[in-house]
Amino acid sequence: MTKMTMVQAINLALRQEMANDDRVVLLGEDIGRDGGVFRVTEGLIDTFGTERVLDTPLAESAIAGMAVGMAIYGLRPVCEIQFSGFAYHCFHQLENHAARLRWRSQGRLSVPMVLRAPYGGGVRALEHHSESREAYWAHTPGLKMVIPSGPRSARALMVAAIRDPDPVIFYEAKGLYRAFREEVPDEEETIPIGRSRIVREGRDLTMIAYGAMIRPALEAAEELRATDGVEAEVIDLLTISPLDDTLMLQSVTRTGRAVVIHEAPRSFGPGAEITTRLMEGAFYYLEAPIARVTGYDLIIPYFSREKWFIPNVRRIVDAARRTLVS
């Protein structure tokens, strides 16, 4: 076990997978000599050389499209898109090719690529550097969408994503990169993609969140215990798509109350799907309307106002109390 940041944990996953499997290659802007603008790929070019760590010219569609070809021919490309706000260039290649080549070729071709990108706000960044648009990817059949919530889950999920036979979009909450350290096992660890987990047990209320929202959710749960004597269960989705609804349904069947939390805008966001699954699978157990705590249906404002956009502990506690009174 070593205590490390999420940056170091993802670096560890990449390093170990590259050492284990020479099909794994990295490509992206500034990921070589510079080690990536967030230093996630720090030192990898020194160990694995320029043949496996490609500092590409500046073109995201080319990164994604080239990765599709590499993956078709048996490699395991891991793309870094410097900020998720520039991953829209990749959308065409993922939507039109990566996501559907297996299906179109009746299973003969596959695209086992990973596309990593930092997402989300809270770091006083410039425009286009703070969005949460995971719903775009989650909406595309054939793609998997993964979002870890800290160093240990990031490492374990990254290993799983690289080994996954299908294309995986891997969003890294940039606010978590260096926010805290966690024990990460030195030996291999994976978390299966498509599986959520309970990060706090409770009997009165279920909170469902992922990524950077897990920490405020846990804090809100502590506050509710201290001030209201309420025990909230917190579920960390880890994978947005394919969405695992087994744990959340079991939980809500017990608690009868749910609060869904994400930083992405509310309308047509992941919360809409989560809420519908709960309605379909646990309607008769619900004691109160399901609450959503999300970003507004706005472009995340420049950083002087972003704290008003991003869900916080107070909003989660308020929403929980609303579901508890009814």
Ligand X SMILES: Cc1ncc(C[n+]2csc(CCOP(=O)(O)OP(=O)(O)O)c2C)c(N)n1
Catalytically active residues are 129
- The residue (of 106 and 304) whose beta carbon lies closer to other proteins is 304
316 touches 220 (CB < 8 A): yes
- The residue count for binding other proteins (CB under 8 A) is 38
Residue whose Cβ sits closest to ligand X: 86
Strand boundaries in 82-204, DSSP class E: 114-119, 144-146, 168-173, 182-184, 197-200
Contact call for residue 126 and other proteins (CB under 8 A): yes
Contact call for residue 298 and ligand X (CB under 6 A): no
Distances (CA, A) of 26 to 3, 99, 184, 253, 271: 25, 20, 22, 43, 32
Q: Give backbone dihedrals phi and psi of 32, rounded to 5 degrees, phi first.
A: -90, -95
Binding region for other proteins (CB under 8 A) out of 12-20, 104-112, 239-247, 304-312: 304-312
Contact call for residue 104 and other proteins (CB under 8 A): no
Minimum CB separation of residue 323 from other proteins in Å reads: 16
- The residue (of 29 and 233) whose beta carbon lies closer to ligand X is 29
- Which residue reads 């996953």 in tokens? 13
Looking only at the bridges linking them, the beta strands covering 76-80 and 114-119 are parallel
Distances (CA, A) of 109 to 67, 102, 287: 14, 5, 48
Tell me, residue by residue from 73 to 92, as one string, x for binding to ligand X by CB under 6 A and - for no binding: ---------x---x------
For residue 179, give the DSSP letter: T
CA 277 to chain centre: 19
Nearest to 98 by CA among 83, 86, 84, 114: 114
110 touches 166 (CB < 8 A): yes
Contact call for residue 33 and ligand X (CB under 6 A): no
234 touches 198 (CB < 8 A): yes
Residues 187-216 within binding reach of ligand X (CB under 6 A): none
296 binds, among ligand X, other proteins, none (CB under 5 to 8 A by kind): other proteins
Tell me which of 288, 303, 313, 322 binds other proteins, using CB under 8 A. 303
- As a whole number of angstroms, the distance between CA 238 and CA 219 comes to 18
Minimum CB separation of residue 90 from ligand X in Å reads: 10
306 binds, among ligand X, other proteins, none (CB under 5 to 8 A by kind): other proteins
Contact call for residue 239 and ligand X (CB under 6 A): no
Contact call for residue 61 and other proteins (CB under 8 A): yes
Instruction: Quote the tokens at residue 127.
Output: 């425009």
Contact call for residue 58 and ligand X (CB under 6 A): yes
Nearest to 210 by CA among 170, 250, 164, 163: 170
Binding site for ligand X (CB under 6 A): 29, 58, 60, 82, 86
| Contact footprint for other proteins (CB under 8 A) | 29-30, 32-35, 37, 55, 57-59, 61-62, 85-86, 89, 124-129, 266-267, 296-299, 301-306, 308-309, 315, 318
